[in-house]
Structure 1
Amino acid sequence: MPDQKSDRFRELFRRNKRALLDYFKRRVGPENASDLLQETFVRAIRRDEFENVADPPAFLKQIAINLTRDFARRRDSEAKYFIPGDAPEEIEEPAVAPDALYETEELARRLMEAIEALPPKCRQAFVMRRFEDLGHEEIAARMGVSRNMVEKHLRLAMERCRAALD
């Protein structure tokens, strides 16, 4: 099932990328067009019910229009508050204390160990939620379990991760 969805998106991308890229080039310029094109497809992919969209190319165009408007608003806002040439010559980076760096690395190591020690289904649900940003319904569908079971897996994962960090 996920392969079919990937294939549909690949084909949708192939058919619509040129028109959308041309649209973005006209509206925001070539330097920002490819980023907005990518964001268009990211937003479409993240939409849970994209398969139910009656006209996917029109839906992509509407996302593109909204992104163009957002881009224009952001550019106008930046123009109000930032004057070219006002940037300081050199920005000093704050020094990171070695002990703070060690502590952060230690926390990351403990967290990874806790994730690796989770039961397989629990770890799978946790990874899909935290790293793939999937909703509970999508996780349940992919794992072939109920939404309640996904919530139980996630609750256990969070408890064990918190315990590892305390």
Structure 2
Amino acid sequence: MSLATALVQHYDDLVNHLRRRFGDPGFAREVVHDVCVRILADPPREAVHTPQAFLRRLSVDLAIDRHRVDTGRRAWVESMADMPEAEAPSASPEAQYAFQQTLTALIRTIENLPPRCRDVFILHQLHDIPQAEIAERLGISRNMVAQHMMRAMRSIRPVLHANLG
């Protein structure tokens, strides 16, 4: 049985397994969809003898990675929200307001990046994870990681130049 066939047959089981483990049915469906995309884009090179077990393991691994990224992203956004209060007290109210506007625009820009692009940016820029490790974690090529970083920087650069330049 092919992995694609096994995925169709066991879709609900995979979603339910992830929902029980992580508690969010929407999250579970997104992860299983990521599994679908990953299998279609980059099928395993070796034969899979137990497709259901393979899919379950892949789903859990991707869910854990995604959960870590989401947790890191939330922690970063929350810490960034606290940042203006940590601003030097000697800054003028106008400078503080400009800084807050820049920060808000920057956070909005990062949040509006495509999910994979945003994940790559956060893992690399905030968690200081090397691009090669990001490629391995996310199951994409190093070239794709570099492309996501370039796309993120192209989106962020105008916000910084408009507000700081």
Fold shared, TM-score > 0.5 on shorter chain: no
Q: TM-score range by the shorter chain?
A: 0.3 to 0.5
Larger C-alpha radius of gyration, 1 or 2? 1
Alignment TM-score, normalising by the size of structure 1: 0.43
Alignment TM-score, normalising by the size of structure 2: 0.44
Point out which structure has higher relative CO (alpha carbons under 8 A, 6+ apart): 2
